[in-house]
Amino acid sequence: MIKVGRSQFGRGIFATRDIKKGELIHEAPVIASPKEECKYMLKTVLADYVFNWDDGYAIALGYGSLFNHSYEPNARYKLKKKDLVIRFYAYKDIAAGEEILVNYNGDPTDKQKLWFEPK
C-alpha cells in the first residue's frame, strides 16, 4: 500500500495503489519518552521526528516518522495513547504514486505556523 521514496522534502511516503478516503494507511507503534528525558532527545536528530505525547514526546516507528507535512494534506493521523500507536488514515482519496502528506499540527484544517521549520 505504501513505500518510501524520494520527495521534494527528502524522503517521503508514497501510495503504491489507490487509497480511499477513510482507509487506514499505516499503524505505527511508538516509543514514548517521559518529559524529564525530552531535553536530551531534542538535542539530537530525533527532534525532527517526534510527536507530542502527553507531557512528553513519542518517536513513531515503522513508516510513522517519514510522512511529510502539508497544509493541504491527503492523510491525517490519530494518536492512540492507550495502545501506544499512531494511526494514519486517508483524509481524501489518494492516487497510486501520490505522496502521502499530513498536517503536523494534527488537524488537517489547522493553518497555524508550525513550532519548527520543516525540512
Q: Give the tens place of pLDDT for each residue, 18-77.
A: 999 999 999 999 999 988 888 888 888 888 888 989 888 999 999 999 999 999 999 999
Q: What is the pLDDT of residue 113?
A: 84
51-55 contacts, C-beta under 8 A, 24 or more apart: 51/79, 51/86, 53/79, 53/81, 54/81
Q: What is the pLDDT of residue 25?
A: 99
What CATH number belongs to 2-102?
2.170.270.10
| Spatial separation of the C-alpha atoms in residues 71 and 51, rounded to whole Å | 17
Q: How confident is the model over 82-101, as pLDDT tens digits?
A: 999 999 999 999 999 999 99
Cβ-proximal residues to 109 (8 Å cutoff; 6+ apart), any chain: 103
Chain centroid offset of residue 9 CA: 14
For residue 118, pLDDT beyond 80: no
Q: pTM of the entire structure? A: 0.90
Domain boundaries, the chain: 2-102
pLDDT band of residue 117 (cuts 50, 70, 90) is low
CB atoms within 10 A of CB 48: 11
